[in-house]
Structure 1
Amino acid sequence: MAARDDILTRPQIDAALADLPDWRYRLGGLVTVFKTPTAAGALALIADVGRLAEESDHHPDLDWRYNRVFIRFSSHDVGGEVTARDTGAAASVSQAAAAAGAEAQPGLYRSVDIGIETADAGEISEVWRVALGYRKGRFGHLVDPYGRGPGVSFRQGPTPDGNRLYVDIHRSKAESGPVLEKVAATGASTNSDHAPHRVVVTDVQGNQLCLCTEEGHGPDLGE
């Protein structure tokens, strides 16, 4: 198992991303989407990513949707954080994608979590973990060990409000502005007290969701 001093801080991640324009930071990982001209091109890119992963012994989470390939790199041996292995792997994949004529569309990579307001996370987290078949992840969150389902996070406080369940939708800050404008145009109310980390959206029936970005997130920021 790698030492935790391999984990990159948010400033280090941001510095690396300056040279990785195809990628975004997201909840302990680096994410992107590549669009290829054809579905066959996507399969060929997947084969290239697999070959690179085998050569480096560092494997991403990968999802194929017709001519788009969704990719996430994270170092699971240090608790699901970003290391230099991830930035190196991301650079190699970008080179392979460019050679394949693929277009990077990182703004398409959205992550969804279920948030639960609670006065005592320890009292309820095991119920959710067992029912979902999840494992405990970073900062007490629950995660699907196969990366398929939404994560579950617990926002602990002495007086949870009436809406205890909500949805966290994570997008990159670079792509969040137009989404916020469109959401506001639906008639929903927004609370930007914690922006750009998160904006709380309440629909006309009182249901809440949070539009979140990578700001305020990181291994050194108590994400």
Structure 2
Amino acid sequence: MAVPAILSADQIDAALAGLPDWRYRLGGLVTVYKAPTSAAALELIAAVGRLAEEQGHHPDLDWRYNRVFLRYSSHDAGGQVTPRDVAAATAAGAAAAASGAAAEPGLFRTIEVGIDTEDPAAISEVWRVALGYRRASSGDLMDPYGRGPGVWFQETSTPNSNHIHLDVHRSQAESGAVQEKTAATGALMNRDHAPGWVVVTDVQGNRLCLCTEAGHGPETVQDQPPPD
């Protein structure tokens, strides 16, 4: 089977202009649908499942009472967005509308663990084995079942005294309000790399980064879970 064409950042933006329920996130299209009831959410899951079987393309799906979290990405294209993902998201959106579900894409957050180190090779195997992860071609560590956060190693000759930080990925459309609320807590906000990411430091020196797709276009091809 031929590998599908990978969409460029401009092509993804054009596709999303016609998919207001969806956002781009680290090589995938993501959204959350809130159904009227938990039973309605199950019906939506069943409808998405039927579509997946018809299309031969299956999403990552998570059910939380009356909310359904969806992510489409083409594993056989290295975990990138292809026309197949756009078609699947379009069909899932139509099924959601038919079920009376409302889109809440801002609820879809993606967490990564970043580790500052002078020598990633010296420590990455410890983390891979302990977590049961697989290594991507980039050197990042990935949960093979997509359940846990990714782990990446920030190589630097001047590691921060707190070597571990979290990267919290939201879409740029929803990031502004979160940044304002975070700043209101008294955290130090370093906006040197905004809107790609903002480095947040709490009063005890612990760091996290609030990230958006502006800092992460279509990704380098990485090892991913087996194709559909």
Q: Sort the Cα spacing of 1:15 and 1:221 in 2 relative to 1 into closer, same or farther, 3 A.
A: farther
| Aligned-partner Cα distance in 2 for 1:80–1:218 | 13
Q: Is the 8 A contact 1:2 1:77 kept in 2?
A: no
Task: Give the 3-state SS of the residue equivalent to 2:214 in structure 1.
Answer: coil
| Aligned-partner Cα distance in 2 for 1:207–1:96 | 43
Give the equivalent residue in structure 2 for 1:97: 96
Q: Is the 8 A contact 1:7 1:83 kept in 2?
A: yes
The Cα shift of 1:123 comes to 2.3
Give the equivalent residue in structure 2 for 1:82: 81
Runs of 5+ unmatched residues, structure 2: 223-228
Q: Is the 8 A contact 2:111 2:150 kept in 1?
A: yes
Q: Is the 8 A contact 1:29 1:72 kept in 2?
A: yes
Q: Which amino acid aligns with 1:15?
A: A
Q: How many equivalent residue pairs?
A: 222
Runs of 5+ unmatched residues, structure 1: none
The Cα shift of 1:17 comes to 0.6
Q: Which amino acid aligns with 2:6?
A: I
The Cα shift of 1:194 comes to 0.5
Q: Sort the Cα spacing of 1:32 and 1:10 in 2 relative to 1 into closer, same or farther, 3 A.
A: same
1:111 lines up with 2:79 in the alignment? no
The Cα shift of 1:27 comes to 0.6
User: How high is the TM-score relative to the length of structure 1?
Assistant: 0.95
The alignment-based identity, stated in percent, is 67
CA RMSD, 1 decimal? 1.6
| Aligned-partner Cα distance in 2 for 1:123–1:87 | 40
The Cα shift of 1:220 comes to 6.1
Q: Which amino acid aligns with 2:180?
A: E
Give the equivalent residue in structure 2 for 1:9: 8
Task: Give the 3-state SS of the residue equivalent to 1:163 in structure 2.
Answer: coil
Give the equivalent residue in structure 1 for 2:204: 205
Deviations 1:126-180 (A, max 9, x none): 2211110111236322111111111101111222221210011011100011111
Q: Which amino acid aligns with 2:57?
A: H
The Cα shift of 1:21 comes to 0.6
The Cα shift of 1:120 comes to 2.1
The Cα shift of 1:88 comes to 0.6
Q: Which amino acid aligns with 2:120?
A: A
Task: Give the 3-state SS of the residue equivalent to 1:215 in structure 2.
Answer: helix
| Aligned-partner Cα distance in 1 for 2:114–2:163 | 8
| Aligned-partner Cα distance in 2 for 1:185–1:25 | 27
Task: Give the 3-state SS of the residue equivalent to 2:39 in structure 1.
Answer: helix
User: How high is the TM-score relative to the length of structure 2?
Assistant: 0.93
Q: Which amino acid aligns with 1:26?
A: R
Residue range with higher mean Cα deviation, 129-138 or 109-118: 129-138
| Aligned-partner Cα distance in 2 for 1:163–1:187 | 19
1:165 lines up with 2:164 in the alignment? yes
Q: Is the 8 A contact 1:35 1:104 kept in 2?
A: yes
Q: Sort the Cα spacing of 1:138 and 1:215 in 2 relative to 1 into closer, same or farther, 3 A.
A: farther
Residue range with higher mean Cα deviation, 5-14 or 177-186: 5-14
| Aligned-partner Cα distance in 2 for 1:2–1:137 | 22
Give the equivalent residue in structure 1 for 2:51: 52
The 4+ residue runs of structure 1 with deviation greater than 3 A are 220-223
Give the equivalent residue in structure 2 for 1:215: 214
| Aligned-partner Cα distance in 1 for 2:198–2:109 | 16
Q: Which amino acid aligns with 2:208?
A: L
Q: Sort the Cα spacing of 1:221 and 1:131 in 2 relative to 1 into closer, same or farther, 3 A.
A: closer
The Cα shift of 1:222 comes to 9.3
Q: Which amino acid aligns with 1:194?
A: H
Task: Give the 3-state SS of the residue equivalent to 1:180 in structure 2.
Answer: helix
| Aligned-partner Cα distance in 1 for 2:121–2:8 | 28
